[in-house]
Structure 1
Amino acid sequence: MAHFIPVLTILFVFIVAGSSLKCRDCTSGHKGFCKGELFQCPPRARTCIKINALKLIGNEVSKSFSRSCNSDSDLCNQDFIMNSGRGNKQVRITTECCATDDCNRCKAKKPPPYNATLNGLICPVCFKYNTYDCLYEGYIQCRGKETECMDFAAKLQYEDAPEFMFSAMGCTTAAGCSMGQKIMPGTRIVEAKRLSCRRAVPITH
């Protein structure tokens, strides 16, 4: 009987390894789209994910996109918006998860649209490159589903570009702190200094 144990162990490992999810994997930090190749996910991954992002700084618009295996359920099927400057400093991201082989190959949803409707809430606002010290620059009026105030600072790197420091404060949606900036395609957090959220404050006058 004992000689069957190694055989059963090998068979079990084979079954577990063979049952791992397969997902498309790619990142595009400029064109906003990539097709990707099919890869075997690590055992901890339970879903395939697509992330579609739009960043607006003044009149400069950049799009980024990724497909990958995913092990973080908090990232699934979320719309994330951060607004740090009177409608012209924004990050808007949508994510989609699925749980079958090659299910993230399809076209992704567009990032959530900009909602200009003021909701009666305000947050401190600031937006700085090359520093972790984002000093208070007044308040921004939140819009749509932006109900949280975010304070974020980190050293970032865009694909193969040099690392740089960045900090921002502003309005964000409820998913802002659970998702953070870790889902921005083509962006790597080299060093996270702070990421916090608190409820936005109602306008009293």
Structure 2
Amino acid sequence: MKTLLSTCLLLAFFSPVASLICMKCLGFAKGTCYPLGTETCQADEIFCLSFKMRNPTALLFEFSLKSCAPKGICKEGNFSSTTAQDKHFQSVMKCCKTHLCNKDPIELPPPNMTSNGLRCPACLSMGTSHCQAKTMAKCVGKETRCFNGSGFAKISLAGFPLFTFQQKIAFQGCVTPTSCKFEAPVTLSTSITTISIDKFKCSNATKARFHLADSTISGSRE
């Protein structure tokens, strides 16, 4: 009896755990996420991810992604940021841990564009890892923190070699406190996209006069 029990325990311990299966899609137009079937997650990918981001000033653009994701990238919540020239970005992320649990559509809340009286140093530089703030962003809604960061994004589709997008970016501006949950460096890498945040530092937004002299950030990617 003891031998049988021991054998059952050993089998239970060493039996392979079924890998998580998630929906996969990618979209760049408002209200769309082109279905790419399902994917079997790697051992460190313990979540199914749903992510959507848009710039309310660009009415047709909306980035949507569904995929497997590791623990470090999954920070559920609604995110908002405002950077140079009052460019405003919204995003929402949801994570779940059961097969195909990310199949349902994900929606962004209505944008809150009401100024809250706070300010942050602001700049936005595409194609480089360097950004120096020369203006102040007007924070809106629940944006009570300042951010200073740089990163890299690459999107490519298997079988479509001409459809490859890659871009460095450096940025400063206002963010919601939810955005500060991410700890750089962090990378989301799937079969269709790689998003890497090299540096991301948060500080309190302020109403006081701010000197811009020391607000430069250099990313690690050159």
Work out whether the TM-score is over 0.5: yes
How many pairs does the alignment contain?
Answer: 198
Secondary structure, in 3 states, of the residue corresponding to 1:175?
helix
- Compute the displacement of 1:23 (Å): 1.6
Secondary structure, in 3 states, of the residue corresponding to 1:141?
strand
The letter for the 1-side match of 2:177 is A
TM-score by length of 1: 0.76
**Aligned match for 1:197, one of 179, 202, 206:** 202
- Compute the displacement of 1:183 (Å): 6.4
Matched, 1:169 2:172: yes
Unmatched 5+ stretches in structure 2: 157-162, 210-222
Higher strand fraction (1 or 2): 2
CA contact (8 A) 2:124 2:131 kept: yes
The letter for the 2-side match of 1:70 is A
**Any idea what the Cα deviations from partners look like across 1:142-198, whole Å, max 9, x if unmatched?**
111101111122343343435433211110111223347966997634683x32111
**Any idea what the Cα deviations from partners look like across 1:40-91, whole Å, max 9, x if unmatched?**
32343333221111135x546421111122332662431111111354x222
- Change in Cα spacing, 1:71 to 1:5, as seen in structure 2 (3 Å) is same
- Change in Cα spacing, 1:68 to 1:188, as seen in structure 2 (3 Å) is closer
Give structure 1 regions of 4+ aligned residues with deviation exceeding 6 angstroms.
4-8, 183-186
Percent of pairs identical after alignment?
Answer: 22
The letter for the 2-side match of 1:65 is S
CA contact (8 A) 1:36 1:67 kept: no
Alignment RMSD: 3.4
- Compute the displacement of 1:7 (Å): 8.9
- Change in Cα spacing, 1:29 to 1:61, as seen in structure 2 (3 Å) is closer
TM-score by length of 2: 0.71
Answer with 65-74 or 130-139: which moved more.
Answer: 65-74
Answer with 90-99 or 119-128: which moved more.
Answer: 90-99
2:207 & 2:197 partners in 1: Cα distance? Answer: 33
Match of 1:44 in 2: 44
- Compute the displacement of 1:123 (Å): 0.1
Matches within 5 A, 1:20-99: 20-30=19-29, 32-55=32-55, 59=58, 61-72=60-71, 75-87=74-86, 89-99=87-97
